[in-house]
Structure 1
């Protein structure tokens, strides 16, 4: 049985501020990933190196963190959930989104990825066999229709490979959030109730989850990063983007986000994530010199509205037959 909430007004405020800090860090991920990888016309670091190299940097830091804090080793079914989480947030999202933003600008990617909170709720409902309301499913379908319509409009009437990559990245990230949340105690991912993924004692803290996910990925990410390392000089700005996604997108951002959820309450703090696509678009303009037109803002506002409404729809936590 979940513990009775003892959240104070001070904790709620701190949690909201930390949640906003986490969202702001994540909002820079797409622009910084494009800065690191460049475009098709002016490539910089290979998308595979950006994806795997950032996981290596964050994985080494995680190894130090786990050692210093004396974190316990995962056990039993926790290993399986850690592996599933790694597949989504260490391999799937970084690689697919990195490949996508070489072909489309960060503003475009921000609108498509705006359905991430709603996609997380959908995957949570399916994997936990919950029964969302009809209004919830209507919002989910509306969100998908909006991002597909936006992609078709930007693609002059057709979808591009990058749009498929971005939708795949959203699915990977959502699945990773859900499996990771099942390992945590009191700090579930947005739209996901922690459900004790492993037997035998308390689960891992949210900080420990992301650190163990990165550490167990090192045997794969390290050789892949070495194999895809740059052999020709790249711009200093590309290394700046790489440093950002390694330290903040892959590591520090998760600490702020999950701590904010724990202090301020998941339902309250997770609502600020709907601001992420707007922040991504606004930051992409000065960082990358991208153009933000009125129709893109209209689509982004519509996606935000659908996500906001969808996240507020009731979900029957009783599992369906």
Structure 2
């Protein structure tokens, strides 16, 4: 086998491995909304967010200590703070608040715009120039999400929809920054340091929630809290950012379109929710739009 052929095979293996890692992260994230719904049966939204972040940070701190990982360089901290604000605090808090009034199925489709937003923010950060076809498909996907949201809310966006849309934007920014950092730091260190950096905000958040919100956890709520802390907030990000580093932020982000489809399945199977008739149609249209953006070449 020639050196060129060998290099081609190695690249294909790397891409396949990165795709598998990113897809594993999507699978981990797809349980987050149903698990959060179960957590809200036992604790309030602020308590749930604070506890999941603090528990995940403790797990991350143990990993960092056992591995004797040195502090990141100064140039890495701005990006880590963006990940902390968007993925550690912002997205969990905003989506948890939204799930107090929105169904899991509805929230899943609204968040279906996350891959498009992630790709767009990544393009801006890296100064790449996606083609017109990319932006046309991205715009169609975003319009589909907006149309579904308005249709489900009777023509007017609700407070829950506002929470979800802001959550989408801050999470997309955190994903894009995290994917960029994962080219220089191991993926698990990116989310681990972001969790630790967020502790000055998440510890007071957890304490304030415990002080003012009712607390009546049952075994299912506790198990769900442990899941979103260990997997949704930490373990899923480990494989997600490693996959992003391997195949690129834009390409990896497109795999996340499967997340709303999976979450819809879990919402019906695990929570007994009624599937909105428009939800599969909206998710399917967004899927087609993402498929186009993935194939579209840069300008």
TM-score for both structures, normalised by structure 1: 0.83
Which residue does the alignment assign to 1:159?
157
Aligned mates of 1:271, 1:123 — CA distance in 2: 13
Instruction: State the distance in 1 between where 2:98 and 2:222 align.
Output: 19
Asked if the contact 2:116/2:142 (under 8 Å) is kept, the reply is: no
SS in 2 for 1:307: helix
SS of residue matched to 1:88: helix
Offset at residue 225 of structure 1 (A): 0.7
Are residues 1:22 and 2:25 paired? yes
User: Which one of 200, 205, 216 corresponds to residue 219 of structure 1?
Assistant: 200
Structure 1 counterpart of 2:236, from 222, 247, 253: 253
Q: CA deviation at 1:268?
A: 6.3
1:236 deviation in Å? Answer: 2.8
Q: Does the 8 Å CA contact 2:108/2:264 hold for their aligned counterparts?
A: yes
Partner of 2:3: none
Structure 2 distance, partners of 1:130, 1:14, is 24
CA distance in 2 between counterparts of 1:136 and 1:45 reads: 42
Q: Is the 8 A contact 1:278 1:300 kept in 2?
A: yes
Secondary structure, in 3 states, of the residue corresponding to 2:235? helix
Could you tell me whether the CA contact under 8 Å between 2:105 and 2:276 is conserved in 1?
no
1:307 paired residue number: 290
Aligned residue for 1:37? 40
Long gaps (5+) in structure 2: 1-6
Cα distance, 1:9 vs structure 2: 6.1
Kindly report which structure 2 residues correspond to 1:176-215, keeping only aligned pairs within 5 A, or say none. Answer: 176-185=174-183, 203-215=184-196
**Structure 1 residues 93 and 279, CA gap change in structure 2 (3 angstroms):** same
Equivalences for 1:282-301 in 2 at 5 Å?
282-301=265-284
CA deviations over 1:103-147 (Å, ceiling 9, x no partner):
111100111111111100111222333322222222222122111
Aligned mates of 2:128, 2:21 — CA distance in 1 = 29
* Aligned equivalents of 1:281, 1:125: Cα separation in 2: 29
How many residues were matched structurally? 290
Structure 1 residue 238: deviation in Å?
Answer: 2.1
Distance of 1:62 and 1:72 partners within structure 2: 14
CA contact (8 A) 1:111 1:303 kept: no
Q: Give the alignment's Cα RMSD to 1 decimal.
A: 2.2
Instruction: Mark the runs of 5 or more structure 1 residues left unpaired by the alignment.
Output: 39-43, 186-202, 317-321
Query: How far apart are 1:269 and its partner, in Å?
Result: 5.5
Counterpart CA distance in 1 for 2:215 and 2:231 is 26
Residue 7 of structure 1 corresponds to which residue in structure 2?
Answer: 10
Which residue of 57, 77, 80 maps to 2:78?
Answer: 80
Name the residue aligned to 1:113.
111
Compute the displacement of 1:182 (Å). 2.4
TM-score scaled to structure 2, two decimals?
Answer: 0.89
1:266-302: CA deviation from partner (whole Å, max 9, x where unpaired): 4766543221111000011122111124421111101
What CA deviation, in whole Å up to 9, does each residue of 1:190-211 have, x standing for no partner?
xxxxxxxxxxxxx321111100
CA distance in 1, matches of 2:146, 2:203: 35
